[in-house]
Amino acid sequence: MAKAPENTPTRLIYGFHAVSAKLRHAPDSVLEIFLTADRKDARVRKFLAQAESAGVRITQSEGDKLDALVGTRRHQGVVAKVDATRREIKLADVLDSLDENALILVLDGVQDPHNLGACLRVADAAGAHAVVAPKDRAVGLNATAVKVASGAADTVPYITVTNLARALREMQDAGVWVVGAAGEAEKTLYGVDQKVPVAWVLGAEGDGLRRLTRETCDELARIPMHGSVESLNVSVASGICLFEARRQRGS
């Protein structure tokens, strides 16, 4: 079992995606896992094998106790205590941990922490497996973004990359279809097959996708606009794109 040095700050993360990704990338940072006893499905068995392989202690708990522990019922029956000084998760770790077709949100240079927090909430609600953003020219997961995310910063892996175009190509190599949201695109999002593994790429407020990001995408698609405004807030647009994927997948 992993042990943190005395006085090491810890935090709680929850949800299968977040905890599985942490187990893959930094298993020694996972100090303890709390799991509801009523989950016996194949997903839990696979998760337990992963945790046991990493030598992490598993503590059985009741669902209402987990509710109180993290202040929400959206924990999916799994909560982990982790070393708060180690937060980094890599894209490959998330892609390798998936047992369904990927659904990823990529943010190309979002500068407003409120928008980032709202995007994380949307990603959590849609069941996205990760939010990916560049380390530079983006706001980063600061205190404001975490607060606005209302817990989603701990349920959705937030991955920062040094080279966004390279990260998109990594997704493509893993079989993920990369779609850029662009208002001038001929195809609408309803014409994009999202039953396959998909990553939606949305640009910064006002500027949209950067040239290299746009050129790296497999295709571009737009959200049909029927009113007088020309664009939507990035978190609203993210929700439309991600939930269309869920609609097509029947979930």
Binding-site annotation, residues: 203, 223, 232
Asked if 47 and 16 touch (Cβ cutoff 8 Å), the reply is yes
Q: Is 102 exposed, middle or buried (0-12, 13-18, 19+ CB in 10 A)?
A: buried
DSSP 150: T
Separation of alpha carbons 64 and 77, rounded Å:
10
Q: Which residues are annotated as a binding site for S-adenosyl-L-methionine?
A: 203, 223, 232
How far apart are the C-alpha atoms of 2 and 55, rounded to whole Å? 7
8 A C-beta contact, residue 234 and residue 115: yes
SS3 category, 179: strand
H-helix or E-strand spanning residue 120 = helix 113-126
> Is beta strand 78-83 parallel, antiparallel or unpaired with respect to 30-36?
antiparallel
Beta carbons of 124 and 74 less than 8 angstroms apart: yes
| Separation of alpha carbons 139 and 120, rounded Å | 13
